Amino acid sequence: MSLYELEGAELEVDLESTEFEGVWIDYGNFIRIVEPDQYGGLPLDDFGGWFEIRVEGVFLKLPDKRVLACLTTLERNDILRHPTGRPYEPVLAFPVTLREVKVFLDWATSVGYDVPINEDALREVIELQKTRLTQGTSGSSTVTNQSDASLAEYYRQQQRGFATNNQEYNGARASEHQRWCDAAEDIQRERQRAVSGRDLARLVKERLNLPDAVSTIRARISKSKLVRK
C-alpha cells in the first residue's frame, strides 16, 4: 500500500518515534521502498510524476530551460515549488533520518505531490536497520560484516533488475508521450486556427482522459514543436 496519495493519507508508521533513533535511509534503502509503477518497474526518473531519484537524493523533475521559458509564470511556479526555494537542489538529500523523510512527505502532501512509497517495504527497511544497530551494539562484527555483504549483494541484484525494468518503463513512457503528441497533432488538424500553449495541453488531457497535470502535458508536447508560442 502507498503511504501517501495525491489527496494525502495518514502514516501508519510513526517516523518520529524514539525507537527509530539511528535509523538512516540512503539511496539503496530508499529505492527499496518505492512503489513500482503500473509497468512493474521502479519510476526512478518519474517518481510520483513530480520527482526523480538520484544517488544524491530526491530531486524535482524539471523540464529543460527552453521548455520552462514556454510556460506561463503560474505554470513555472507550480513546477518549481521546492521546500527550500532552491529547485535545482534535492528536496530530500541522502542519507536521511526517518524524521527528515516525514518532513518531506508532509511537505509533498501539503502541495499536492504524490509520493508512492510502499509501507510494507518501509517497515522491512526499518526492521533491517534496527537489527543492524542491535548487532553493532553487541560488538558482533562478524555478523555485521556478513549482513553488509548480503545487503550489498541484494542491492547489486536489485539494481540489475531495475536497469531492465527501467528500460522497459522508459520505452513505455516514450510511447505514452508520443500518444500525447499524436493527439495534439489531431487536435491541431481539426481546427482552423492553431491551438496554443495551455489550451492545447488541456484539450489533450480531456481527449485522452489523462491523470497528468496540464503543465506536465504542455511541457512534453512543447518538445514536439506543436505549441504555437
Domain boundaries, the chain: 18-177
Q: How far apart are CA 191 and CA 172, in angstroms?
A: 29
Q: Does 46 score more than 60 pLDDT? A: yes
pLDDT digits (tens, 9 = 90+) for 76-117: 888 888 988 899 999 999 999 989 998 998 898 888 887 888
Q: 53 pLDDT band (50/70/90 cuts)?
A: very high
pLDDT value for 89: 93
Q: What is the pTM of this model?
A: 0.55
Q: How far apart are CA 58 and CA 104, in angstroms?
A: 10
Other CB atoms within 10 Å distance of the CB of residue 69: 11
Q: Does 228 score more than 70 pLDDT? A: no
Q: How far apart are CA 14 and CA 16, in angstroms?
A: 5
pLDDT digits (tens, 9 = 90+) for 107-162: 988 888 878 888 888 888 888 887 777 766 433 333 334 444 554 555 555 555 54
**Ranges of H-type helices in the chain:** 27-32, 65-70, 73-79, 98-110, 119-138, 141-190, 197-208, 214-222
**Ranges of H-type helices in 5-140:** 27-32, 65-70, 73-79, 98-110, 119-138
CA–CA distances in Å: residue 223 to residues 13, 63, 213, 228: 41, 10, 16, 11
Which residues neighbour 160 within 8 Å (Cβ) at sequence distance 6 or greater? Answer: none
